[in-house]
């Protein structure tokens, strides 16, 4: 099967290509990128006015599968990702049950191959059941293809446990996606700048501290918005 994508505005950081090019795809592989490709193809796509880029990777996705399929599934989340040009998604582990074992990671990866149009990387929880009491099987989950662990939606409110998790993550060569929220300070409210007090707390500094000491990688999944109110979900590493 040959597919010819014509007249697209190609942006490829790796090969430092930018401009209007044609792309020839043969058996799912890009075989030629040139200004005018005249090869015959089974399918021709006119990409005039469109950007043509490598697939995006979304580091923070909730597939809600297993257990909360009325919200999203491997299939619907994968369809939405593909529609937006995202070809790899990192699924958060706060499903029902929580993804906290090698076996559960393998199950999602195997199902994803059949049910999702895009690559799914399942993340594992940091603690068993995200209960914050004992560490999940981080080594096993890394073996099953977890590229990162995260307590997404929850904080690990035990610095010693978190530190151990970071050490194991570093040894396994995987990252931590940190949910930076100190729940002892939330008390049902949101953080905003104070006109009367010079109060400053930075959860990123907290995890950056361990990052500095242990030398692993963290990605801050949630942190205060630019205006200081509420939170935004975005990555900085």
Q: Give whole-number Cα distances, 13 to 10, 81, 103, 173, in Å.
A: 10, 21, 36, 25
**Least gap, CB of 201 to Zn ion (angstroms):** 21
Q: Give whole-number Cα distances, 92 to 23, 24, 87, 185, in Å.
A: 34, 35, 16, 24
**Least gap, CB of 123 to Zn ion (angstroms):** 10
- Binding-site size for Zn ion (CB under 5 A) equals 1
Determine if 65 is a binding residue for Zn ion (CB under 5 A).
no
- Closest residue to Zn ion, based on beta-carbon distance: 152
Binding mask 183-202 for Zn ion (x = CB under 5 A): --------------------
Which tokens in the block code for residue 19? 């401009």
Asked if 67 contacts 74 with a C-beta cutoff of 8 angstroms, the reply is no
Range 73-92, binding Zn ion (CB under 5 A): none
User: Measured between alpha carbons, how far is 94 from 179 in angstroms, rounded to an integer?
Assistant: 12
**Least gap, CB of 221 to Zn ion (angstroms):** 6
Number of Cα atoms under 13 Å in the Cβ half of residue 185: 13
**Least gap, CB of 161 to Zn ion (angstroms):** 20
Binding mask 139-178 for Zn ion (x = CB under 5 A): -------------x--------------------------
**Least gap, CB of 86 to Zn ion (angstroms):** 16
Nearer CB in complex with Zn ion: 152/181: 152
H/E stretch holding 75 reads helix 74-83
How many helices (H) and strands (E) the chain has is answered by: 6, 12
Give me the residues that bind Zn ion (CB under 5 A), please. 152
């Amino acid at each position: 099967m040959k597919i010819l994508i014509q007249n697209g505005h190609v942006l490829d950081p790796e090969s430092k290509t930018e401009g209007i090019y044609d792309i020839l795809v043969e058996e799912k592989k890009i075989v030629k990128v040139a200004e005018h490709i005249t090869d015959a193809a089974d399918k021709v796509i006119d990409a005039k006015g469109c950007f043509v880029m490598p697939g995006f990777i979304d580091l923070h996705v909730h597939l809600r599968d297993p257990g909360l399929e009325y919200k999203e599934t491997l299939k619907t989340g994968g369809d939405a990702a593909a529609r937006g040009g995202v070809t790899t998604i990192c699924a958060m582990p706060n499903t029902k049950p929580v993804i906290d074992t090698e076996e559960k990671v393998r199950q999602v990866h195997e199902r994803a191959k059949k049910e999702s149009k895009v690559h799914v990387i399942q993340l594992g929880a940091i603690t068993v059941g995200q209960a914050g009491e004992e560490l999940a099987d981080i080594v096993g989950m890394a073996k099953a293809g977890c590229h990162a662990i995260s307590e997404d939606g929850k904080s690990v409110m035990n610095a010693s446990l978190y530190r151990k998790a970071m050490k194991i993550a570093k040894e396994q060569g995987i990252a931590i996606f940190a949910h930076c929220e100190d729940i002892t300070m939330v008390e049902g409210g949101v953080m905003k700048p104070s006109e009367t007090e010079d109060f400053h707390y930075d959860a990123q500094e907290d995890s950056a501290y361990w990052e500095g000491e242990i030398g692993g990688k963290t990605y801050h999944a949630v942190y205060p918005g630019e205006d200081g109110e509420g939170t935004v979900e975005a990555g900085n590493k």
